[in-house]
Amino acid sequence: MSRTHPPHSLKLLAGLAALLLPAVLPAAEGPKPPPPPARPAYAFLRWLEDWSVLTKVPDRGQDFFDPIKYHPLGAGTGAWASFGGDARFRIEDWQGFNFGAPRNASTDDTFELTRLRAHADLRFSPTVRLFGEVKSALSSSRQLPGGVRLVDRDEFELQQLFFDFKINLENNASIVLRPGRFGLSFGGQRLVSALPWANALRTWDGLQAIITAHGWTVTAFESAFVPVVRNGLGEADTDELLGGIYARHLFKGPADGIELYALHNDWDAPRTFNGTRGSDERVTLGARRWAPLSPRADYEIEVSYQLGSTGSGDVAAWSLASIAGYNVTADKSLRLWAGFDWASGDDEPGGDVETFNQLYPLGHAYFGAIDVIGRQNIMDLSGGATWKPVPKLSLAFQLHRFWVDSTKDAIYNGGGGVVRAGGTFRSSDIGTEADLVVTWNVARHLVLEVGYGHFFTGDAISQSGPSTDTDFAYASTTFTF
């Protein structure tokens, strides 16, 4: 007798297939919900953070500090506040500081630096905001030449306090007016930086107008520098002015952009550049471009030109900075890079000035951890590598080869001070610096870092005075919330 219906075993297989096929076959395409916004990364300028996204983050409440990162100020008002801060402790060890100069001075020492910051960000409405930040920078005794530096100690300071008034325009354009005290950091921070490496930081009093339109962000500002006062609150120095226009445009995201700027500094207090002394007033015109060269390669180039006057001398100075990088691995865990920096020096002492004025730079990021070289009368051929063997651990190695642009001009350090006077050396060879930095992001709030640098002195140093090689080591821990 023949069967006219499937056996029981086939019925079971058909049932299993009906259950399993949806799991192994691709599902029909449909609209996907947008991913939830990420928590903002901690920024050095904390006003850049927007913690209102915590209302949409799925794991809100899982971090101990969430209640103070987004705190509504009243039911139905839309107003909210955010509070935070950080604490950094760093130990520095120096051997052969300043190449052993001056003679018979102590050039070996170990000391501690502590910096505490706390801020409040009050958003009264989408268009009105008040941001305030206080700081305490402390240093143990420092037995190196110069003692405790101004960049090391500022016992209590109102670091930032400003209002934002936002005016919304058509086509998503806007203007933000920002009066008050604020940190300034533009572009690669080669010329203007709040100086996160230093303990005491930098700040200015003034007014900014931040215009956003058609993919451009243009900052027009006028400000007065606030010098460090170790005891008490600092006041703006109207004899040291900085202003200008800084414009930024991104083409295809953060990795592809251009910046154009015109900066004006007016420093009435006498400054000396290679024998020419007097007030320094300059306009710095510049451009910065960065972009991919291929899926793994990229470049950055920045050029600046200065004109104006120092005392009775006319100014004509320039600088060039360039970096090319290549990501060896697709996940960018291993990266190689090479760079060249050139800033003009002066051909003859006195009279007109060709020495580039580096203004308020973050030199630590570009000329080595020892900070003995600045962006004035310098040529620097550099290269290095960064490697992340695991996501939270990174190693960075860099090598710098330094020459002066002009042997008639001085060798300048990261703060613009004279390391060796012009005319005291015949060779252009300053020396070579090698640095290694290891950074461990222990957790969301905690970062540990250790670094070591060695400077091999060249003929220009040995011809102009003591020429001890310099060793610099540090260890730091930073807690941020």
Q: 324 with 298: CB under 8 angstroms?
A: yes
Question: Chain centroid to CA 22: how far?
Answer: 51
What is the tens place of the pLDDT at every residue in 239-283? 999 999 999 999 999 999 999 999 999 999 999 999 999 999 999
Q: Could you tell me whether strands 297-310 and 276-292 are parallel, antiparallel, or unpaired per DSSP bridges?
A: antiparallel
Euclidean distance between CA atoms 207 and 220, whole angstroms: 8
- At residue 231, the pLDDT reads 86
Q: Tokens for 24?
A: 């192994």
User: Is 367:374 a contact under the CB 8 Å cutoff?
Assistant: yes
417, β-bridge pairs: none
What does the pLDDT read at residue 26? 42
Strand partners, 434: 399, 454
pTM listed for this prediction: 0.89
Q: Give how far Cα 478 sits from Cα of 85, 112, 142, 442, Å.
A: 11, 14, 22, 10
pLDDT for 341: 98
Q: Are 216 and 246 in contact (CB under 8 A)?
A: no
Q: Cα separations (Å) of 150 from 33, 147, 154?
A: 53, 9, 8
Which residues 6+ apart lie within 8 Å of 65 measured at CB?
A: 84, 445, 481
Pairing of the two strands 470-480 and 446-457: antiparallel
Predicted pLDDT of residue 123: 97
In tens, the pLDDT along 412-437 reads: 999 999 999 999 999 999 999 999 99
Q: Could you list the mean pLDDT of each consecutive 10-residue stretch along the chain, which spans 481 residues?
A: 40 37 41 69 96 82 89 89 98 97 94 98 97 97 93 96 97 97 98 97 98 97 96 94 98 96 97 96 98 97 98 97 98 97 96 97 94 97 98 98 98 95 97 98 97 98 97 98 97
Side-chain-facing half-sphere of 335: CA atoms under 13 Å: 20
Report the C-alpha gap between 417 and 35 in whole angstroms: 51
Query: Which domains are seen in the chain, by residue range?
Result: 37-480 (2.40.160.100)
Query: Using an 8 Å Cβ cutoff, are 382 and 375 in contact?
Result: no
Cα dihedral 175, 179, 182, 188, rounded to 10, equals 30
Q: How far apart are alpha carbons 132 and 161 in whole angstroms?
A: 4
Return the DSSP state at 244: E
Q: CA-CA distance, 179 to 205, in Å (whole number)? A: 8
**Spatial contact of 373 and 384, defined as CB atoms under 8 Å apart:** no
**62 Cβ partners below 8 Å, 6+ apart?**
none
- Ordered DSSP codes for 325-341: EEESSTTSSEEEEEEEE
